[in-house]
């Protein structure tokens, strides 16, 4: 088994250089390009690309088959952060310890940089040399569904609507299922698809991906309570300030930790059922569950 | 030759009903869906979809081959209007005589409705039953390029940067080439592609589309000076208020009219060269040149 850290590092470097290349090739020099590069190269964990490539590798295929899709996915994730940070949305000044896009540039530039990254993501997939036309169409259909008005955008809309009120656990899970979960799920399922997983394996990976999405969000909420602001790169306690419902609020801190570990077990069990336990994916689940930022 | 008005009417109704169907099927009921429908059904001329379908028909193929692409194109046009109207961008309160999206809803909803329409456009193409995988990939590659960071978004960024200054004619044409022209060009070229136009025809249609884009923008600027505010649905003279450079400013009103007609002749000549003169496309060029809104 390849161990986790060298894997993370190798694919993070590959994705970083490909992301920068795609933007430089497909944009003109100037303010728009600068704003896109600023947010894309702001030091994200590249969790979604790595999850996609780790899934391909878990099924013993070449992870590079997923590199364009991984870049497209990270562009969509990054655009969503830029737009979510805007004053009309979450109104955040800091992201990963740096000024948010609209603070570094201005609101108009941030809106357009987000629009450009979203559009470029589909361009990158449609031009990917390592994919067949059928694969491109399948991936674009799934990625647009995951990030569109029944996916991530709907989750963000519902998240905005639920501010300043306490919502039931079921509704909180439904928001995160779409806002964060759908892109994580896409990462796993597109990886399994590109690795030619069979129907049984796809079904188990779906269960795994849904559990992983929830686990990831619960840990996010836990870190907002107990995390180190410097490690996270933004002030902790911000959910409370915005009057957002969180898992620790609804379940208590210990309850939230138990819930997180419950989903961790579901995810690991699904890996076992899909025959890909003991891979870098298992370690990745543990890592995401225990991460401190 | 089919005459223009029944053609416009027939395809406008088809596109309107398909646009509404796509949104209802691919969104959940609620605020996001309402905001998307509000702007999509706000009574646009459906110029780009009609141009696309008229091009297919000019080459004597079935225009319905282009209906999903036409809807996707109109979704992208509509998202760009929603985002351009935002306070951080052009800060417009009215669009087609109605409150702009962020005035009717709020800024966060308008940003998300735009994001959702942009994403949905690629979903609609990837799921279109009338297209092959190869056609979908070609169309997505061209549409993302036309609307992305070297296309429409770049034009909008440059337009923002040029506010409050007089710019040379060449730069003005370059802005409009991307901000308005690239989507119009896509409409013509994707129509010709779907109608299996040959290389010579594609080259002539490219010249036609570029002339049409400039003609369209010049007429827009002319209407801003001499148009009837009620017919246009927004206050005239607004370019002057925003200190934007326009053709009448740079060339005088008569000069702008001459320039518009010059491009009209280029467009008609290209139709002739491509062997599709005397079609509804010729009439459409005249109509766009003389339109009063």
pLDDT in tens, A123-135: 999 999 999 999 9
Count interface pairs A-B at CB distance under 8 A.
154
Of A36, A111, A120, the CB nearest to B83: A111
Confidence of residue B96 (pLDDT cuts 50, 70, 90): confident
Mean pLDDT of A80-105: 96
pLDDT value for A96: 86
pLDDT value for B88: 96
pLDDT digits (tens, 9 = 90+) for A215-232: 999 999 999 888 766 555
A123–B112 CB contact, under 8 Å: no
Q: What are phi and psi of A72, to 5 degrees?
A: -60, -45
Query: Please, how many CA atoms are within 13 Å of residue B269, restricted to the half-sphere of its CB?
Result: 9
Q: At residue B56, does pLDDT exceed 90?
A: yes
Contact A135, A61 (CB under 8 A): no
**Residue spans per domain, chain A:** 4-290
Q: What percent of chain B has pLDDT over 90?
A: 82
pLDDT value for A205: 98
Q: At residue B1, does pLDDT exceed 50?
A: no
Q: At residue A121, does pLDDT exceed 80?
A: yes
Confidence of residue A237 (pLDDT cuts 50, 70, 90): low
Domain B4-290 classification at class level: mainly alpha
Mean pLDDT over the full length of chain B: 93
DSSP code at position A192: H
Give Cβ neighbours of residue B274 (< 8 Å, ≥ 6 apart). Answer: B197, B200, B201, B204, B205, B208
Contact A46, A16 (CB under 8 A): yes
Q: Quick check: helix, strand or coil at residue A164? A: coil
Which residue matches tokens 């690991």? A268
pLDDT digits (tens, 9 = 90+) for A139-193: 999 999 999 999 999 999 999 998 888 899 899 999 999 999 999 999 999 999 9
Mean pLDDT of B273-285: 94
Q: Tell me how crowded residue B2 is: count the other CB atoms within 10 A of its CB.
A: 12
- What is the per-residue burial (b if ≥16 Cβ within 10 Å, else e) of A151-184? bbbbbbbbbbbbeeeebeeeebbbbbbbbbbbbb
Q: What percent of chain A has pLDDT over 70?
A: 94
Mean pLDDT of A90-97: 92
Q: At residue B214, does pLDDT exceed 60?
A: yes
pLDDT value for A1: 46
Q: At residue B234, does pLDDT exceed 90?
A: no
- Comparing alpha-carbon positions, the chain A residue that sits nearest to B138 is A126
Of B32, B107, B127, the CB nearest to A153: B32
Confidence of residue B276 (pLDDT cuts 50, 70, 90): very high
Give Cβ neighbours of residue A246 (< 8 Å, ≥ 6 apart). Answer: A172, A221, A224, A225, A239, A240, A256
| Ordered DSSP codes for B38-80 | HHHTS----HHHHHHHHHHHHTTS-GGGGHHHHHHHHHHHHHH
Mean pLDDT over the full length of chain A: 93
pLDDT value for B7: 87
B123–A145 CB contact, under 8 Å: yes
Chain B environment of A108 (Cβ under 8 Å): 86, 88-89, 160
**Interface mutation target, options A91, A116, A160, chain B, most CBs of B under 10 Å:** A116
**Interface mutation target, options B73, B132, B137, chain A, most CBs of A under 10 Å:** B137
Mean pLDDT of B137-164: 95
pLDDT value for A147: 98
């Amino acid at each position: 088994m390849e161990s986790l850290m060298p894997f993370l590092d190798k694919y993070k470097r590959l994705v970083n250089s490909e992301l920068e290349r795609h933007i430089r090739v497909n944009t003109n020099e100037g303010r728009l390009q600068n704003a896109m590069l600023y947010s894309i190269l702001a030091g994200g964990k590249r969790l979604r690309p790595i999850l996609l490539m780790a899934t391909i590798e878990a099924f013993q295929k070449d992870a590079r088959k997923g590199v364009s899709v991984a870049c497209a996915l990270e562009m969509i994730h990054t655009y969503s952060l830029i737009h979510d940070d805007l004053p009309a949305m979450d109104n955040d000044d800091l992201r990963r310890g740096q000024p948010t896009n609209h603070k570094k540039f201005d609101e108009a530039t941030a809106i357009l940089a987000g629009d450009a990254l979203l559009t470029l993501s589909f361009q990158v997939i449609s031009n990917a040399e390592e994919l067949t036309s059928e694969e491109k169409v399948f991936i674009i259909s799934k990625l647009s569904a995951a990030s569109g008005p029944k996916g991530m955008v709907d989750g963000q809309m519902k998240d905005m609507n639920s501010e300043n009120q306490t919502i039931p656990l079921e509704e909180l899970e439904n928001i995160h299922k779409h806002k964060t979960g759908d892109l994580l799920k896409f990462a796993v399922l597109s990886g399994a698809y590109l690795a030619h997983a069979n129907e049984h394996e796809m079904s188990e990976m779906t269960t795994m991906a849904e559990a992983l999405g929830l686990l990831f969000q619960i840990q996010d909420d836990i870190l907002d309570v107990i995390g180190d602001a410097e490690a996270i790169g933004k002030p902790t306690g911000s959910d409370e300030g915005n009057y957002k419902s969180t898992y620790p609020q609804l379940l208590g801190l210990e309850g939230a930790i138990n819930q997180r570990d419950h989903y961790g077990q579901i995810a690991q069990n699904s890996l076992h059922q899909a025959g890909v336990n003991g891979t870098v994916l298992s370690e990745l689940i543990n890592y995401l569950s225990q991460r401190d930022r």
